[in-house]
Amino acid sequence: RELPLLTPQQAERCGVDRTGLPVGRKVELVRLVANMCFHGQRSQNEIRDLGGLPSLLSHCNIDGENMLLREWGVFAVRNITSGNVENQQFIRDLELQGVAESPVLDGTRVQPAWNGGLTKPKVVIRMDRNDESSGGSSSSEAPGAADEGGERGAE
């Protein structure tokens, strides 16, 4: 069952993040997993067997409400795969299903993009007309040059 996300105002009043966990609790939990999996073959296997690897991988991104979550997430992935061929193969066998929207990018001109094919996901920078008139050109030859829609993509 999926729990509803709190509004930023509700979360701030309660001292919790958008998911309802106390601020910093996610970091503590991911840190615990990272430490348990350091040279802990049994813990590494148990997390994989319980289906925890995709969840752990999802914590390897920037979260403005939980500082250091990304760093502990990356460290946990390192520890859970260290010396564990089965976990390495599990991650290797994952397939890209889409690009998740990121609240961190809300309000910026940067957006993830993927066409659903065999190409890699890209970062798209939306160009405002004001940017083009102030010297920016949509026909730049920089990596991922802009297309007709005023977008620039970079891999």
Q: In terms of Cα–Cα distance, which of 84, 113, 83 is closest to 98?
A: 113
CA distance 41 to 67: 28
**Would you say 98 and 114 are in contact if contact means Cβ atoms under 8 Å apart?**
yes
Per the prediction, the chain carries an average pLDDT of 77
Q: In terms of Cα–Cα distance, which of 33, 32, 57 is closest to 46?
A: 33
pLDDT for 152 equals: 47
pLDDT for 40 equals: 95
Residue 124, classified by CB atoms within 10 Å of its CB into exposed (0-12), middle (13-18) or buried (19+), is buried
Strand partners for 112: 123
Q: pLDDT per residue over 72-88, tens digit each?
A: 999 999 999 999 999 99
**129: confidence class by pLDDT, cuts 50, 70, 90:** low
**Would you say 48 and 28 are in contact if contact means Cβ atoms under 8 Å apart?**
no
Whether residue 24 has pLDDT greater than 50: yes
Q: What are phi and psi of 124, to 5 degrees?
A: -110, 130
